[in-house]
Structure formats: C-alpha cells, structure tokens
Amino acid sequence: MPRKLKQEDEVAIRKTEAANEASVRQKQQELSRSTSLEGFNVKQQATTAVPSPISGQTPEQNGSASASQTTEKKTPKRSRASDSKRFKIFCGSANHALCEEVCKFMGVPLGETRMQRFSDGEIYFQLLENVRGADVFVIQPTCHPVDEHLVELLIMIDALKRASAGRITVVIPYYGYARQDRKDRPRVAISSKLVADLLTTAGANRALLVDLHAAQIQGFFNIPVDHLFASPVLVSYFRELNLPNLTVVSPDAGGVERARFFAKKLDVPLAIVDKRRTDINVTEVMHVIGDVQGRTCLILDDIIDTAGTLVKTVDALLAQGATQVYACASHPVLSGPAVERIAASPLVEVVVTNTIPLREDALRVGKIKVLSIAGLLGRAIESIHMETSVSSLFN
C-alpha cells in the first residue's frame, strides 16, 4: 500500500511539472509576439492619438474609431486658390501694375515669363514654369497700342495651350474694338466679333471682361463670359463724397441703362444729354433731358477717349444751370487731346479706374483721380477658380 501511494505521487508530480513547462512556453511565446509588434503598436498609437478635426476628440474619447478613419480626418482640405501648383496668374505688358495689385490682393505670386521683341518687332514669349493641368488666368487689357497688345495676348494664350494648361481664362479689363460692335454703315467690319473669334481660336476657355461698351458683345463669344462692372468701386467713392443735390447724367442714349443703375444705387435723379455724332470722334451736343438747375451733376460713361463728348456735355449742363460737374468712367483711354481738354474744362474732378494705365501727362493733372479695381478682379478670379457665383459680387 505505501508503495502504490508513492507511485501515484510521482505521477502527479510529473503531470504538474509538465503543466508548468507548458505554461512557461505559452508565456514566452506571447511575450515574443508582443515584442515583435511593439514598434507597430507605437506607430498605431501615435496615429490614433491625433484629435479628430470634426469632434476635437481622440479615438479613445470617441470610442472605437479606427486608425485609418482618423488618419483621413486629420488632414484638412486645402483651398484650391492657395495651391500655387493648380492656380496661376500671368500678365502681359499692357498693365503690369494692375496685375501685381491683383496678385497681392489674392496672396499668390505672379507667374514667371519671358517676353522679348525681335529687331523687326515680332513678339517672343516663353513660360518659365510648369502649367500642365493648371487653372491659368491671363490679365491683359487691349489698350494703346491696341493691335500690339492684342497679338501679345493671342501669343500668350497659344503658349499656354501648347503647354497643356488645364483651363485658360483671359482677363481683359479693357476690351479693345468694343465700339465696333455692329454695322452702322455699309461695308464696315464688326471688329468686336472678330476679336472674340481670335481669342477663342487661340485657345481661351473662358473670358472675364470689365464694363463692355455694349453688353451684347458677350454673345460674340462661343465660350463662357463673365461681365464685371466697375460701378461698385465708383459708387462707393461718390457715396463717401456725399455731394449735395446730386444728379447722375448719361452723356448719350446708349448709356442710359448704365446711368440709371448708378443713380438707383446712389438714390439720386437721372438726366440724359442728347447728342448727335457727325463724324468719328466728333460729336455735337443738342439738349439736356431732365432738370439740372441748381444741382451737382455727375456724368457717367464707360470710356473717355478724346474727351470731346465729355467737355461738350459739361458745357451743356452748365448752360442749363448746373452748379458744378463731376465725371467718372471705367476706362481712361484719353487719346489725342483728351488730357488737355480735361485740364482746361470747368470739370471739378474726373474719376476713372485703373483698367488702363494712365499716360504720363494725365498723371500730372490734379483733376484726374484713379481708383483701383484690383480687389474686384481678384474676387472674381477667385470665384471662377472656386466655381462659385460671380454675380454675388454685386449684391
């Protein structure tokens, strides 16, 4: 009997030792597995510890958020307008100062280009940076010399198209040939339509224009056109002046709609000057429609070219009893004797925008004041790039 108990004790001891050895081996395997995954676990913890930009909490606080979901949420969506690789602005030689103002307003660098002229006058243009797939805006008013700046713009568009730009939007603060928009005489060209076709054929995908001479010019384009008005900038200026007994005056029947909008914004009366054009750049004022007796008059036009119409309109208003006369326009073409006529006229002030750079002699005339539309253009460019409403700029 004692011998049998001893054998059973030995069996029990061997089973216990075997169980202990199996337990030790299992613990060693678990320890080895946890050690091999230690680096991965640390990285996973570092990722999941980032707070979610939506809830502001870590996954431990949110509950059971996965590491992959947290990684996707922690990266905020970038604004396309601030991505210099996808959004670029280039400019020609017509109005470099305005282009720099627009870029400064938007906080983007001006695109690098090289533009030279050969000895025979031909234009050489080269892009100095990659534009493949980019949303590109080219700022170039077709002002004096009109043909030179127009051809320059066409060459820039062609270079961008051949460089595989994603979309090319031409930003034309002043649209040359806009006044040749119909056949007013036999056997004449509709040059405004021709320019629209040239821009489209060169490769423009969209156009951004400012204060067209006739709004119907938009229909000459076979691409989308956004038509801006400088009136918000001009209205703001004259609203701050708070001129007494103000009346807005349209210098011709064609500008009545523009003047009516301006007068409505300022909440003032409207008058019209009837004129008869006897030849190109020559006009004869006939009479004033509306009461201007004892009132301050503000002549509103889209273009001041030779200033012949402007000066004769001023004389007609003063002859009808106006106390003082101001003038404003979007595009200061100021060709020929325009500057001398304005300086010698009884005008108190002529307010224009910087769609066209002023001539040097115009800068020396104290009556001429320039307002910038860089902010207006910048907001419109951003709206086009971000695919938001441009018309909201005027509300």
Residues annotated as part of the active site: 275
- Going by the DSSP 8-state scheme, the letter that residue 323 receives in this structure is S
- Going by the DSSP 8-state scheme, the letter that residue 109 receives in this structure is P
In whole angstroms, give the CA distance from residue 10 to residue 13.
Answer: 5
In whole angstroms, give the CA distance from residue 121 to residue 28.
Answer: 86
In whole angstroms, give the CA distance from residue 20 to residue 15.
Answer: 9
Measured CA to CA in angstroms, residue 246 lies from 99, 271, 353, 388 at distances of 34, 11, 21, 36
Cβ of 231: how many Cβ atoms within 10 Å? Answer: 18
Cβ atoms of 277 and 297 closer than 8 Å? no
The helix (run of H) or strand (run of E) holding residue 287 is strand 282-289
Strand partners, 132: 165
Cβ atoms of 207 and 169 closer than 8 Å? yes
Q: Please give the structure tokens belonging to residue 306.
A: 């030779």
Measured CA to CA in angstroms, residue 114 lies from 84, 93, 354, 367, 379 at distances of 19, 11, 24, 37, 27
Strand partners, 137: 89, 169
The CA angle 103-108-114, to the nearest 5 degrees, is: 75
Cβ atoms of 255 and 301 closer than 8 Å? yes
